[in-house]
Structure 1
Amino acid sequence: MDIKLKDFEGPLDLLLHLVSKYQMDIYEVPITEVIEQYLTYVATLQAMRLEVAGEYMLMASQLMLIKSRRLLPKVAEEMDQEEDPEQILLDQLEEYRKFKILSEKLGEQHNERANYFSKPKLELVYDDVTLVQDKSAIDLFLAFSKVMAEKQAEFRQSHTTIARDEYKIEDLMDFVRSRFKQTKRLTLGSIFKESRDLNELITIFLATLELVKVHEMSMEQEENFGEIYLVRRENESLS
């Protein structure tokens, strides 16, 4: 079973998604926190052996430059003519936001206009199982990125073990289901608590995505960047 995460339209689209979670003006967001979330997201993609486009890596290097400049002590009198990469990035984000809003409005007008024309039916055939990009899926993935970073630090501090490479999504879907025998609601982090190595951690996450995709589980998030809860749907019975 192949599960693919649909890419954002580009690194600025990912950054705009992270920034918009703060529900404040782009120039007021805590840029260091946004940078950390972006870098963790990209690192998680790499750890999961998912292809990361070069433009995302280029943006990651630019963000690391901004982060390093934030950590360095401020020079008393900086040269006025020196370009500020942070300000340039924020200007790009604001411009991208305006164009995205405009494109969405044009898309709505296009869809409304399309209602006046009849179109032949199209048969859609998908060779791969694809998890479409939506708010819930992305929030779940970003929350997993945080969990994964914490578990990687834990693995480094623990005794060295030989990692198995034979975990199956179907088996770990049953494992996730078993966690809901006594409850209908669990935090995302608790599901990964007993993971013994990185491969198992990633496969449990893919199993969780599949359960959400087939509507066996739903997710709840009470606040932006808050704890993610997985909830077993009422009409789903666990074997």
Structure 2
Amino acid sequence: MAQNDKKSKANGKNPSGHHAQKAMEPIWEEEHGVSEPTLVIDVQGFEGPLDLLLQLARNQKVDLAHISIVELVQQYLDFVKTAHELRLDLAADYLVMAAWLAYLKSRLLVPQRSDDEGESGEELAGLLQFRLQRLEAMREAAGQLVNRNRLGRDIFKRANPEMVVVEKKHLYDVSLYDLLMAYAGLRQRQAVKRVEVGKREVWSLKAARAILVRLMGEAKDWQALDKFLFAFIPTAHERRTALASTFAASLEMVREKQLDIRQAAPFAPIYLRAHTKAEGPNTINIGGGAKPESN
């Protein structure tokens, strides 16, 4: 009852306040969802004076770049005046904004002198329009983020799949011949082994001659050829190449009159010794002749 008396008193004092009161009702209803006909004004309902200016600009239903600054300023001043008439406490930001807007309105309405310093009314109005446009863009971006689909409210994940065990049974219709052929093919694949032929060591004539020179030295007695090589043949598979290379090297050394060679019979042991000039050129006796004397 007291509130209605205050409203009537305020409206009776100032008709323009009644107009501002009517203009503020849709603002409050849009922001807070209040549909009651009684006027309830709470400055805390807006985040700041710039937020209130944006809502007033929206009521003009025009582009923010083409709003009427003078009309917007007048609506804001009516809002502040009506709030004072209703004995509401206003934040300092709203009063500061009201003073600045009153100054802006005066700059727009009063002709400017050429020697006036500071920004013109058009520049101040453009700055206000820019701040309102930026606030509008922030609000739209925030609204888009809030209105996105939320997991668990608007969209839902797929539930855990059911653990269905699939049992498979393989049935084969084959004959005994097919089984035997499959078994034979398996055994054949398993029996195949990789055969690798190892590299055989070959004694060169140069190496065999070097060994003969070192072993024979100045030996004057007959020595069997194979006895020289036992200490230099590490493996059995090198015996054949060692004997062949050493025999060929010994023949070369006999031709150069560095060794004497003798063999009593075919396939008999071959004997070697250092060359002696006493026996002359008849020293070579391969496959015949007397057996050398053993000391």
* Shared fold per TM-score greater than 0.5: no
**Over alpha carbons, which structure has the higher Rg?**
2
Give the alignment's TM-score, normalised by structure 2.
Answer: 0.35
The higher-RCO structure (CA 8 Å, 6+ apart) is 1
TM-score, structure 1 length as denominator?
A: 0.42
